[in-house]
Structure 1
Amino acid sequence: MWKNKLGNICAYVLSGLFVTIFLVVIVSGMFFGFFLFARTAFAVDSSQAAELINQQCLQCHGEKGFTVQRDGKNISLFVSEATYKESVHGTNACTTCHPGMEKDMPHKSAVYGQALQQKVLQECEACHDKVTKDYRTSVHGKLASAGKETAYCGDCHGSHNVLKKENPEAIYYRLNISDTCANCHDGKVMDTYKYSFHGTAVNFGYTKAATCADCHGNHTILAAEDPQSMVSAQNRPETCAQCHFFARDGFAKGMEHVTPQDKKAALPLYIVWKIFIVLIIFDFAKDGSIVIFELIRQLRGVNEVKKHTKSKDTGLNA
């Protein structure tokens, strides 16, 4: 008797469990399908809405020669539709980075210069929160907070032409970084970098050579005197070890951003450079004459062979 009851209970439990699992699967499938459909529909609607907004903006900003005068200067307001669509932000609406501008036409609240840079920085922060926080702690970010001239997001990444860093056309592509930095850090700093092995290798297209960002960082660039800086005295060996395995404490104690010609800033390097110049001249004078005499000997040998061949041919004809 109890066996029948136990069997019935087991049957009820298993049946109930099966029905429950079946209902859960059906409901979950319906919910997932609805969610997927809704998300796709929302994505399509968002894409279409962005396209409509952009087309409205491009009615004016898509016209070549569209400018505005500001402080006696003509400022271009032209945006290439093709360039923007190829950028990483190409699917975004213009109002993603320029919110509220669609309600202010013509744009009476538009700002220019450093005020625009500050506004762009705030808009970038809406999506790129972490890197923006890192930027604000850097030397560039601190100067920006103080209202001084410095590098903002657009200076290093571009504006309507932001591309993936793997794209050779991106201004922060590995082989383009030094030229981008040179827009602000020209003169001695960039000249000495391009003179160095790293700069020379980058100039010849070697993508594994160290660029400015490899040594100084990107969004977290700090002054060399800051203990947290990648190029501080205590962190330099670790920074160099990213490429140079087994970099010891004394590996990076030499001076950077100097050339052998700089006698005042790099006297030891200047002396070594002069010694090598003397050695090269001495070696050329010593061995160069050997090459010249050997060439003369080879030419005389060729002439002797020609004379011998000519006399031999003359004898046969006689």
Structure 2
Amino acid sequence: MVWRLSHVIRWLPKRLVGVMIPIGWAVAWLLSLGVALAAPGGEAQSPEEIKPIVVDGNTSDVRCYGCHGEKGFSVPLGEGVRSKQRSLYIDREKLQNSVHGKRLCVECHRDITLIPHRLKEKGEVDCVRCHSDLHRKGWGRMQGHDPVVLDKVVQNIASYMESVHGQPRKDGSGKLNAGCPDCHEGHTIAAKGTPEREEFRQSTPVVCGRCHQEQLRLYENSVHGAQVLRFGNTKAAVCADCHTSHKISSPHQDPARLVITKSCGNCHQDSYETYAKTYHGQVNVLGYAHTAKCFDCHSAHSNTRATSPDSPVSGANREKTCKKCHAGVSPGFLTFLPHGNSHDFDRYPELWLASKFMILLLVGVFLFFWTHSALWFYRESREKAAGLLPVIHESPAVAGDPRTYVQRFPALWRLAHLTFALSIMTLAFTGMTVLYPDAFWAPWVARFLGGAPVMAIAHRVAAVMFSLVFFVHLGGVFYRIFWKSRATFRWFGPTSLVPNWQDLKDFIAMVRWFFGKGPRPVFDHWSYWEKFDYWAPFWGMFIIGSSGLILWFPKVAGEFLPGWVFNVATIIHGEEAFLAVVFIFSVHFFNCHFRPSKFPLDIMMFVGRMPVDEFKHERQVEYRRLKESGQLDRVLVPPPSSRLKFWSRVLGFTLITIGLTLLFITLSGFSLHLWEGKL
């Protein structure tokens, strides 16, 4: 009958149809009213007594099911019999089994005032207000429910309001980009942990695809999409796993890029951890989004297995992928190992060997020098407590001579030392922040320094300054040895920094003194630990400098070096820098400032001179040699001015404070990685 009636209507004149449609609506209105009145709780009335039912906060759901409980109940979305219908049918059983099963219809549909509804009453639901009101009133606790669930819902609401979905559309309609009902079917929201809830999760791509059709098309053919949509794999990634479910921001904005990258690690933990050890991963963890991330290399929605020929990181496609950021890549550059694991000897033997070598070097160096410092501190503390340390006075070498100091370092050496210090501190701040990006202090330091791009520039500038001073000094040394003083220079003379057998004898004597087996040794112009401090930068310059150049100019290095060299350079550069920072600000600071006879600060390196009394005690061999040869007068100088002493102390304490801060943040970052097994 319906088919025939529709065919009759199809052939009726449009003017007649226009008259019939209002009549049809009137009939439908009367029928719906009759159904509502016939429902339990309602009383049959004659047509002349029919009155709309006033809806209040206690109106029973039975009234609503009188219409909405009828299958096929719907309204047309346009004019004409062929217009699409919007279903208004509610499955009562599914609603009662959902998380909203105990709520009355009118608690959500608050704009409904009459049955049948007025045309302006659309039954719209304000999920945000409803849940917020319930949370404020403590409804979960009053009803015996777990309040944590409602707390989580309110947190999700706050996230949603800040998300791109919670913002008004740009078309000026006043509507939001996506409301709660666009993603959640409000009448059938299943409880967490139920099979229905898992079904909803698996349908997420289809739900999101209603608006994001192109992304759904790409996702359907991806490794994630195939697992979810074809094989029903509940562990494979759906949209919400990467974009989050409520705190969704535009993928063109930095927060989304960072969240998505971190979300990859929720499933691909091993790959994320190895990625986080590369420069790309380190600055990404620091909050810099404009570097290579997971989806930049593997693609966002159409990702496939890395072994697939279609993968952007496959051998045939890798060059094209890398060139999106790095123009003119070289063969070695393309074989860089973005997920190289230094703990896997079978797959990455070069990385394993480099890592273990650096660990042995670190353990050996610190075990030796920290033991040396601890024993020194112990012995000197006991002598100081016993009053055995000499009291230093600014007395002249010759009675009446105002020159009460001995010149140790000329101005050029002091300037070079200060430049070295500032360069190393800059390198340490910028480098350790990248090496330990997940430390609690790292994001703060990164923001203070201006972010990853500024840090990269500052790091390179400091490296150039360090190198410049190093090579200028080296040039000066060569000039003095091979030209200016070639006739008098002695490679193993008393003023030479070249290690000799006397240094070994002094070290043995020092150890005997540590254990109370002999007197404290006396030294010439240089002690053995000062010579070590001098030569250490040569090792560091070669190791840190060469690895730094490889990382700074990867395209050039990749022309003649294999890709694994970049991974090894990353390991060596970071670990050797850690060694340098910790050694300088612990061992070197102790030797110069923190041993009991010097604490809390020795300003000799800033004023360039030391009292004669201290010179007699610290450099007894040199003092006797100069006095016997009649050359002592050549090194005697007046004391530094009070102004110079004051500002030297200010500078010294400032540098020590910065150094100890660097020592703390470096050791805290190292301890975090050691605790979490990330070394």
Q: Same fold (TM over 0.5)?
A: yes
- 1:218-257 Cα shifts (integer Å, max 9, x gaps): 1111101111111112111221112221113553224331
Counterparts of 1:288 and 1:236 in 2: how far apart (Å)? 50
Is the alpha carbon distance of 1:183 and 1:112 closer, same or farther for their aligned partners in structure 2, counting shifts above 3 Å? farther
Q: Distance in 1 between matches of 2:354 and 2:189?
A: 65
Q: Structure 1 residues 136, 210: closer, same or farther in 2, change over 3 A? A: same
Distance 1:237 1:207 in 2: 22
Q: Look up the match of 2:268.
A: 185
Distance in structure 2 (CA, Å) of the matches to 1:137 and 1:272: 40
State the match for 2:207 in structure 1.
123
Alignment of 1:1-318 (within 5 A): 53-55=124-126, 58-60=129-131, 63-64=134-135, 78-79=153-154, 80-90=156-166, 91=176, 92-99=178-185, 101=186, 104=187, 112-145=196-229, 146-148=231-233, 149-168=235-254, 170=255, 173-186=256-269, 188-273=270-355, 289-290=530-531, 292=533, 301-304=609-612
CA distance in 2, matches of 1:134, 1:305: 81
Q: How high is the sequence identity, in percent, across the aligned residues? A: 28
- The DSSP-based 3-state class of the residue aligned with 1:302 is strand
- CA distance, structure 2, for counterparts of residue 212 and residue 106 of structure 1: 33
Number of residue pairs aligned between Structure 1 and Structure 2 = 248
Using a 3 Å threshold, how does the CA distance of structure 1 residues 267 and 96 change in structure 2: closer, same or farther?
same
- Residue 66 of structure 1 deviates from its aligned partner by 7.6
Give distance in 1, aligned partners of 2:277 and 2:343.
11
Match of 2:383 in 1: none
Q: Output the TM-score relative to the length of structure 2.
A: 0.32
Amino acid in structure 1 at the alignment position of 2:232: G
Residues 78 and 208 of structure 1, relative CA distance in 2, 3 Å threshold: closer
Q: Unpaired segments of 5 or more residues in structure 2?
A: 1-119, 141-147, 167-175, 370-498, 500-527, 536-590, 593-601, 616-635, 640-679
- TM-superposed CA distance for 1:62, in Å, is 6.2
Q: Residues of 2 paired with 1:275 and 1:230: CA distance?
A: 35
CA distance in structure 2 between the aligned counterparts of 1:183 and 1:105, rounded to whole angstroms:
29
Residues in 2 aligned to 1:96 and 1:50: alpha-carbon distance in whole angstroms: 20
- C-alpha spacing 1:180/1:62, structure 2 compared with 1 (3 Å): farther
8 Å Cα contact 1:50/1:93 also seen in 2? no
Unaligned runs of 5+ in 1: 1-48, 68-73, 311-318
How far apart are the structure 1 equivalents of 2:199 and 2:226?
Answer: 16
Residue identity matched to 1:214:
D
Q: Is contact 1:51–1:93 with CA below 8 Å preserved after alignment?
A: no
User: In 1, are the aligned partners of 2:242 and 2:259 still within 8 Å (CA)?
Assistant: no
Instruction: Tell me how far apart the structure 2 counterparts of residues 289 and 121 of structure 1 sit (CA, whole Å).
Output: 67
Contact in 1 for aligned 2:308/2:314 (Cα 8 Å): yes
Q: Deviations over 1:111-138 (max 9, x none)?
A: 6443111232222111111101101111
Q: Deviations over 1:29-84 (max 9, x none)?
A: xxxxxxxxxxxxxxxxxxxx9997241675257634888xxxxxx86672554432
Select the structure with the greater relative contact order (CA < 8 A; seq sep ≥ 6): 2
Q: Secondary structure at the match of 2:153?
A: coil
1:263 and 1:246 map into 2 onto residues whose CA distance is: 32
Deviation at 1:258, TM superposition (A): 1.8
